Chain A
Amino acid sequence: MVNVLLASLIDGLLIGFVYGIAAMGLSLIFGVMDVVNLAHGPIIALGMFGVYLLFSLLGLNPFIALILVAVMGLLFGLVMYMTAVHRVIDAPPLSSLLATFAVNMMIIGIGTSLFTTSSYNVEYSLGTVTAGPINVTGTRLAASLIALLVTAALYWFLYYTRTGKYIRAVANNRSSAELMGIPSTRILALSFGIGTMLAAIAGGLIATIFPINILAGGSYELKSFVIVVMGGLGNPLGALIGGLILGLMEGVVPVFMKTTWVPVLEFMLFIIILLVRPQGILGAKE
């Protein structure tokens, strides 16, 4: 029993890191410009298919392909910001929700016609790592290490580089930041790009662990909402904590009850946190 529990704990924790960076993208975008990106799920799916295509057509190592996917995620975000989001950034929340949802529909529409909704697999294995009673698949371990690395890089970028400080300044108070000579439009576009880049990376990592399909991003988007609310909307580092909590829940709960109860508990927790502590466990952005 203890062994089973320990194994599911580790499994959950590892996947939690990946959930964390998916949610971080959503959280960063909300934190900087108060936009809930409803195209988040499809962008995660694009990341999945990016890795899949580079791996199966060009034979690229999935973890090398991930770098390309990250760059494409960044570019996609920049283009999406300039075409779909910039005009509605100061409009009521409904406009930006719908604008990003329109992008969601376009991606899903084109994606379904290209790939249908059937499942694909990235046939890549790194073997298993065994430590005492615990077996962990290599790809899962690698994915969580990369997720951790990305988180550290984001933290360094936001707190120790000039551009990162610009982003935080714009998030804090856009008009003051503009008065200080910060090019806010460019910074907003960049933040949006980083947000979608994180989503694409998360998708790419998930593709190495689980089978993928074009609609699969949707469930990770919902998970990201739960995580983001747990960690505090607009607090990217809180998202990591939220991701770990969610991963743990998904690992441990099935030991005690049927797997299908996991989403019930997740969304109950989500609503309860929204009601009693809407600023999240670590607090939202000020």
Chain B
Amino acid sequence: MKLSRYPGLIIAVLLVVLVSLYPIITGSASARETVFTVLMSLALASSLNILLGYTGYVSFGHIVFFGLGGYVGFYTLTALHWHLLLAVLAGGAAAAGLAFALGKSILRLRGAYFALATIGVNEALRAFINNFEPFGGPVGMDMKFAIYNEYGGAMQALWIVYGGLIVITLGVIFTSYAVKKSKFGLGLMAIREDEDAAEVMGVMAPNAKTWAYVLSAIFPGLIGVLFFFKNGNIEPGDAFRLHLSIELIVMVMLGGQGTVLGPIVGGAAYQQLRKTLLTSPLFKNIQLAVAGFLLLIIVLFIPSGAVGWLRSRFATMRRVLE
């Protein structure tokens, strides 16, 4: 296998590895927290891109998988005393299961109808968990500090979570690249361009869409468990925050939908931008408005995002960037 044949993948992986190694080398906890947020955003954005970018289905409720995975994982950790690794897998499985069921039902809807339905699913699940006593209802669940002792104390546990997130992030990137380069991915992109034509050409659209949905849902499920394990408590408001869902779409758009590198660049850039705005005295209070203004400019004038723009502008970029 010649590595130089996969420049798009290598650039993406190198970027992530370099960024995530920095806190490990310096051993700085504050750098780790910053990079954790960035990695989480770009992994979530990349997973959304599999559905949004490749298949062309706009999901406004992607965060439902993050929340559900988080809740299931948290429950297995605290009530059933499972090991973190098992809990993470359980979270991923729950998210995948929900995505499969949704894929068989609401993925029949197209365009705005699907987008609205995903909002409905997120809100329905949030409202349901608000009333679901085993998951703590509106106050959610807390984790006893002693649980961290199983993983060598809280300090050690945080590093373990960080390592886990790096592994998952790389997993998303490999999956995203593999999907894009496969026949399956080609089918998805055909669906994006024209679903009816794709079906005529022999793409099994309902199945392909469902599997794309499941693939994109697994990762938020896994990440949700890690995030809420690190957080120490979980509430419906934090787990199913519609706003975060839409921020993910912004990240994908910023970097370029339908590209492997796009969500990575977009996720990192968005978090950086947010941090700068939040800490600047001038924009601190209206950071949301500034972010909204930037989003509007991108949507109106550079709809293909940063990576998409580079690819269409420079021929060499098309060979290097995926």
Question: Which residues of A pack against B, CB within 8 Å?
Answer: 30, 34, 36, 84, 87-88, 91-95, 97-99, 101-110, 112-113, 222, 225-226, 229, 233, 258, 260-261, 263-264, 266-268, 270-271, 274-275, 278
From 276 to 322 in chain B, residues with beta carbon under 8 angstroms from any chain A beta carbon are 285-293, 295-296, 299-300, 303
Docked-complex contact B303 and A95, CB < 8 angstroms: yes
Chain A CB within 8 A of B34 CB: no
Distance in angstroms from B9 CB to nearest chain A CB is: 26
- Cβ–Cβ < 8 Å partners of A271 in chain B: 106, 117, 120-121, 124
- Report whether B130 and A99 are in contact in the complex, using a CB–CB cutoff of 8 Å: no
Q: Give the residue name and chain of the B residue nearest to A226 (CB).
A: B120
**Would you call A36 and B112 a contact (CB within 8 A)?**
yes
Q: How far, in whole Å, are A34 and B120 apart by their CA atoms in the complex?
A: 19
Verify if B109 is at the interface (C-beta below 8 Å from A). yes
Instruction: Judge whether B292 and A30 touch: CB under 8 Å.
Output: no
What is the total of A-B residue contacts with beta carbons within 8 Å?
128
Given known pairs A105-B295, A274-B109, the reply for A267 and B58 (CB within 8 Å) is no
Contact present for A88 and B299 (CB under 8 Å): yes
Asked whether A263 lies within 8 Å of B58 as measured between CB atoms, the reply is no
B160 close to A (CB within 8 Å): no
Q: A30-B112, A93-B111, A109-B289 are in contact. Are A263 and B127 (CB under 8 A)?
A: yes
Whether B124 and A109, one on each chain, are in contact in the complex, defined by CB atoms closer than 8 angstroms, is no
In contact, A274 and B58 (Cβ under 8 angstroms): no
For A84, the chain B residues whose CB sits under 8 A away are: 296, 300
A103 near B124: Cβ-Cβ < 8 Å: no
CB distance from B68 to the nearest CB of A (A): 15
Cα distance A268–B121 when bound, in Å?
8
Instruction: Enumerate chain B residues within 8 angstroms of A93, measured Cβ to Cβ.
Output: 58, 111-112, 115
Are A275 and B293 in touch, CB under 8 angstroms? no
B131 at the interface (CB under 8 A from A): yes
Instruction: Check if B119 sits within 8 Å of A222, measured CB to CB.
Output: yes
> Is B190 an interface residue, CB under 8 A from the partner?
no
Q: With both chains docked as a complex, state the minimum distance between the C-beta of A82 and any C-beta of chain B, in angstroms.
A: 12
B152-183 interface bits toward A, Cβ cutoff 8 Å, 1 = contact, 0 = none: 00000000000000000000000000000000
- Given the known inter-chain contacts A106-B289, A225-B119, please indicate yes or no for A275 contacting B105, CB distance below 8 A: yes
B94 near A: Cβ within 8 Å?
no
- Is the CB of B22 closer than 8 A to any CB of chain A? no
Are the CB atoms of B296 and A99 closer together than 8 Å? yes
A267 and B124 contacting across the interface, CB-CB below 8 Å = yes
Contacts of B250 on A, CB cut-off 8 Å?
Answer: 98
